[in-house]
Structure formats: structure tokens, C-alpha cells
Amino acid sequence: MKRSYDINTGRGGRTGKNIISVLLVLYSFITIFLVGDTVLSSFKTKQELVKNLIGLPKNPTLQNYATVFVEEGFWRYILNSVLLVSASLLLMMTVSSMLAYGMAQYRFRGKNFLQGYFLIGLMMPVQLSILPLYLMLSKVHLTNNIWGLALVYAANLSFAFTVFYRFFEELPLSVIESARIDGANDFKIFASIVVPISKPVFSTVGLLQFIMIWNDFFLPMVFLTQKETQTLTLAIYSYTCNFLRNWDKIFSAVTVALIPILIIYFLFSEQIVAGLTAGSAKE
Amino acid sequence: MKIEPIRLKSRSNHAYLGFILPGLILYSVFVIIPILCSVFYSFFEWSGIGPMKFIGLKNFQYLLFGDRMSPIFFNALKNNLKYLACVLLIITPIQLFLAYMLFLKIRYSKYIRTMLFLPYVLSTSIVGFFSLLLFDGNIGVLNRVIADVFGRQYTLSWLGDPKIVFKLFVAIVIWQCMSSGMMIFYADMQAVSRDVIEASVVDGCGDTRRFFSIVLPNMRASLITNITLSVIYAMTMFGLPYVLVGPSGGVNNSLDFIAMVFYRYAFGGTYYGTTDIGFGSSISVVMLIIILAVWLITDRFLKRIKD
């Protein structure tokens, strides 16, 4: 429920609040500066960067992009990130929505236990499972393999499960019942009736998980150590940890990583917030 | 009011198994079993290959009381707790304050909300890059500006100074992560009964008073969510310090955290000592125990505040 109040308190509070607005607007310039300067600097040569770090490029060049894409094979990291996120999301959303539906719509023994069982993942630090996971995956040759890592992401379904569960619990049953009378089986009901009416939940969960996995640093660093399998986040890090040496390339590399996520943010920020708050405790 | 759905219980239906099993298997194999394995390994001396040697609590003993490990571990733990204190005493109040400002619809609040929330979607490595761009000692923007305006002698090596680096780190975290908690508070505020708010407006109740007597008492759910998330985030802090100062925690280990100690000893291999699965596992088990303990304490504390 999103409703805003029109609160007009008058007297005194007005000036104070206006000052806070101005301060926050000024504060937002930090973000604008960082993004803007990064994008602008990506068109500068190394020589120009030394003298002109802040400001418009004097002789805009695409050289840095050429280096990053052609010589450093950046398209590869982008592709890895896209594949990793797509595979993880596809598997996680399918498995966790089915799981939540099964838990919410059926009564069976051990259900209460399972409910608690699936929440354990919310409290556990990844560090606690990562060593055995590493041993397990390397035994079946799934380290340095984005599909192996996708399995790990998809398995961390506690959050997605919670949000789906809350939604499916309140599903109006009339639709489902009538489909059942028409003779549709359980899976057909789920796929052709439940999923289509649940699109908003899929998009909020999906977006939030997309951001989490796309940005994740720790798991790719542990599981994807070979250059060919690395993700965009790791590629950017490999530049920043040698900051001075990659001074010219880094701006274009960051711009390439930055622009898609900013577009997604400006298109979907409401849904991202909805996903964030959907997982929070309810009284 | 919540309408209790009619469960499809009868029909001697075992279809639920088909829905549940894939998730149950995936989650058990890749989340639960590894956790149990970690706990099991923590009692062994084992490099990952070869025979496992049961050594009881020796790993824990070495971590907590060993001459070499205990200073490293407690320094990291101190940093985790210091950061957690910053979250509870500085970041959470800021989040509440900003959420309330957005709730009051201060001028430009839509723009402000969008801009405050933006850094949340950026990856740690991009945030790390931004931090270097601003604070790098040699080529960072801040030092260039200082050198131009005040002179070179006033420049500081921001990330290399153990006195500054922690404060800087907290500031960067505020910039990046503060907004998620803020939005959770904000959403919760919008669920506060409209009638109550309107009544308080009619009665001429000021913004400050309304916050403490109407809004804050209704923030229990989001406070619990935010504090739980913060505790977990604080105790598992890894990415940002790693990107800022590298795996060893920077000058004087002033940005060393338990998760980084764990990484060094579990995966650091040749650089930082032995690759010891058993010892690494014991660090992660201690992490879990600390998380649970801190979480229990804050939970108690929140309950007491409520009563």
C-alpha cells in the first residue's frame, strides 16, 4: 500500500525542512560528480588525465574503450556476468516459487519444521558454507565454472522463498478451485494460472536478486579464479587493485559497468524498493 | 484483515512433493549440508586432501588464545564491533531521520530519494573505484583540490592513515548502504495509520513530537528488520574493506575484519600461512556464534525498549 499524506504543519518547521532539502540536494552532487566525472574521464587520454582529471575532455577519444573491449576482452566478462545472473535467476525463481507455492497451498506433515528450515539461510554468513562448497564443487569440476556458481546462487533461496510464500499464502483460491474442477492438474494450475497473476512478485524478487548477484564480489572471487570465467565486478576490481597502472582504462571499464545498472535503476527503482521492503518483518 | 485461504488438503494429494522437492534438494545440498560440514571440519586438522586428524577444540583454542592468532582475531573482532556500534549509534538514527524527512515530503523529496538510493545498486568494486578516485593519496580528486587551494603540505594519505581510514570507511558505507535501511523505514512509516497522523495534524502536533510519539513507536517491525540485517552485514563485512585496502586489512590492520581473516587463512594459501580447511572452518563457526550472540543481545534490547 503506497499512499502519501499531505502534511502541512506550517509554523517554524518549514525553514528547517527547506535547509535540510538544500543540504540533501548538495549531498546528491557527490554522486552526480562521481558518475559524471567517471563517464567524462573515460574519453580522456592518459596524458590528459594527469592534468585534467576534473572537467570536460579536450580531445575526446574512444581509445580507452577500444583498449578495454578489444585488447582486454571486456565483452567476455560482460557475457560471463549476464550468463551467470540469467542462469542463477532462472533456476532460483523457478525452484523457489514452486517451493513457496507448495508450502503455502498444501497441508502436510513437517510443514512447520520446513518453514523454519528454509529460513536458516537468512541468518547464515556465506563464510560458513563456502569451504565445504568449494571442496564439493572442485570435486565435480564446477569451480571456475559459471554454471557451478549459478547453482550456489540459486540454492540461496531463503529470501525469495519468504517473499513468494507471503504472496501465495494470500492467493484467492476461487480461481484455483474452478480450474481444479475443470480438471487441470496441480502443475498446470501453477504454471498457467498462478504464475501469470503473480508477475509483480516475480519482478520484485527478480530485480532485487539480480542486483545482489550482479554486484556480488565474494563468491565470484572464490569460485572464479581463472581470467576466462571472471565476472564484470571482478574485472573492475582487477583494475582498481592496480590503480595507477590502469589509470586510463579504468574509467571506461567502470562506465561500461555503470551505465546498464543505472538504466535499470532509473527504470525500476520503485520495484527494487518494493523487493527490499517485501522481505522485511511484518507485525 | 487476513483471509485464511482454504488449503487444498484432502484429495490425498502428493503433488506438494513435486513442488517442494527441487527446492528442498538444492537448498539442502548447497546451503545446509555445507554448513554442517563446516562445523564438522572445525574439529579436525585437514588441508583438504589426505587424511583428517581429529584434534577436538584445538582450532578454536589456537584462534582465540594462540600467541600468533589471537591478536589478529581480536583486532578484527574489535573492528567488527566498532563498525556495528557506528551502525547502531550513527547510521540507524540517520536512516530514521532521512526516512522521516522523506515521509514529511520535504521539498525535492522525490529527487532526493532517487539520488540517496542510487549507490545501493552499485557493486563493491565500483564503490571501491569511486573511493580511490576521491581519496587516493597520489592522484585522488580530494588531494588535488587541497593541493591547488591550500598547498601540497595539507594533503593527506587518506586510506593509508590508520587514524582516518576507519572514519572514511564508515562514511563510504553511509554513502552506499544507508539508503536500503532508510527505504525500509520509509515504507514502514507509510503504513502508519492515516487517521492517527491526520488527527495529530489537527491537534497542532509538531513534526518532532509526532515523530517520537506516533511514528517511532510504530517502527518496531522495520527496526527489527534493519537491525537484524545490520548485525549480519556488520559481522560479515568483507567486500568494501577488501577493495579499499587489500586482503590484509591495511595499515596497522585498521580495516581488518573477521571475514577477511577467514579469507586469508581459508583461501590465502601460500601468502598468509597454511591452507587449513579445519582452521578456516573454525573461524567461520566462531563468526556464526558471534552473529547469534550479537543478534540475541540486540533482540533483547529491542524488546526491553518496547516494554
Per-residue confidence at A46, pLDDT binned at 50, 70, 90?
Answer: confident
Chain A partners of B266 at a C-beta cutoff of 8 Å?
A: 127, 130-131
Report pLDDT for A10.
47
Predicted TM-score (pTM) of the model is 0.89
Chain B 155-184, residues with CB within 8 Å of chain A CB atoms: 175, 180, 183-184
Nearest to B184 among A250, A266, A277 (CB): A277
Nearest chain B CA: its distance from A191 CA (Å): 11
Cell of A52: 585534467
Across the interface, do A273 and B183 touch by the CB < 8 Å criterion? yes
Q: What DSSP line would sit under chain A, residue for residue?
A: ----------TTHHHHHHHHHHHHHHHHHHHHHHHHHHHHHTTS-HHHHHH-SSS--SS---HHHHIIIIIS-HHHHHHHHHHHHHHHHHHHHHHHHHHHHHHHH---TTHHHHHHHHHHHHH--THHHHHHHHHHHHHTT-TT-HHHHHHHHHH--HHHHHHHHHHHHT--HHHHHHHHHTT--HHHHIIIIIHHHTHHHHHHHHHHHHHHHHH--HHHHHH--SGGG--HHHHHHHHHTTTTTTHHHHHHHHHHHHHHHHHHHHHHHHHHHHHHHHTS---
Across the interface, do A123 and B292 touch by the CB < 8 Å criterion? yes
Is B1 at the interface with chain A, CB within 8 A? no
Is B195 at the interface with chain A, CB within 8 A? no
H helices present in B87-140, as ranges:
92-103, 109-117, 124-135
Report pLDDT for B191.
85
Average predicted confidence (pLDDT) for chain A = 88
Nearest to A128 among B35, B105, B144 (CB): B35
Decide if pLDDT at A276 tops 60. Answer: yes
Report pLDDT for A2.
40
Is B71 at the interface with chain A, CB within 8 A? no
Report pLDDT for B98.
94
Is B262 at the interface with chain A, CB within 8 A? yes
Q: What is the mean predicted confidence (pLDDT) over A257-275?
A: 90
Are A80 and A229 in contact, with CB atoms under 8 Å apart? yes
Report how far residue A213's alpha carbon sits from residue A86's, in angstroms, rounded to the nearest whole number: 10
Chain B partners of A5 at a C-beta cutoff of 8 Å?
A: 103, 105, 194, 197-198
Architecture, CATH, for domain A68-278: Orthogonal Bundle (1.10)
Chain A partners of B287 at a C-beta cutoff of 8 Å?
A: 125, 127-128
Cell of B87: 551502525
pLDDT in tens, chain B (307 residues): 444 454 444 444 678 899 999 999 999 999 999 999 999 999 998 887 788 889 989 889 989 998 888 999 999 999 999 999 999 999 999 999 999 999 988 899 999 999 999 999 999 999 999 999 999 888 888 988 888 888 888 888 888 888 889 999 999 999 998 889 999 999 989 888 888 888 888 887 888 888 888 888 888 888 888 888 888 889 999 999 999 888 888 888 889 999 999 988 888 664 555 567 889 999 999 999 999 998 888 888 877 776 6
Nearest to B225 among A170, A177, A280 (CB): A280
Per-residue confidence at A53, pLDDT binned at 50, 70, 90?
Answer: confident
Across the interface, do B221 and A114 touch by the CB < 8 Å criterion? no
Q: What is the CATH number of domain B59-306?
A: 1.10.3720.10
Across the interface, do B141 and A54 touch by the CB < 8 Å criterion? yes
Pairing of strands B44-45, B53-54: antiparallel
Across the interface, do B27 and A118 touch by the CB < 8 Å criterion? yes
Find the range with the poorest average confidence among A143-147, A279-283, B91-95, B189-193.
A279-283
Report pLDDT for B2.
45
Chain A 45-64, residues with CB within 8 Å of chain B CB atoms: 53-54
Are B46 and B52 in contact, with CB atoms under 8 Å apart? yes
Q: Kindly state the percentage of chain A with pLDDT values over 70.
A: 94
Report how far residue B180's alpha carbon sits from residue B48's, in angstroms, rounded to the nearest whole number: 39
Report pLDDT for B306.
64
Find the range with the poorest average confidence among A13-27, A239-253, B82-96.
A239-253
Nearest to A131 among B23, B226, B266 (CB): B266
Measured CA to CA in angstroms, residue A161 lies from A92, A191, A273 at distances of 9, 17, 18
Residue with cell 508477475: A199
Digit-coded pLDDT (tens) for A55-114: 888 888 898 899 888 888 889 999 999 999 999 999 999 999 999 999 998 888 889 999
> Which chain A residue's Cα is nearest to B235?
A125
Q: Where are the domains of chain B?
A: 59-306
Nearest chain A CA: its distance from B35 CA (Å): 5
Report pLDDT for B273.
53
Question: Which among B8, B9, B10, B31 is the top mutation candidate for probing chain A, defined by the most A β-carbons within 10 Å of its own β-carbon?
Answer: B31
Nearest chain A CA: its distance from B22 CA (Å): 6
Range(s) within chain A of domains with CATH label 1.10.3720.10:
68-278
> Which chain B residue's Cα is nearest to A21?
B107
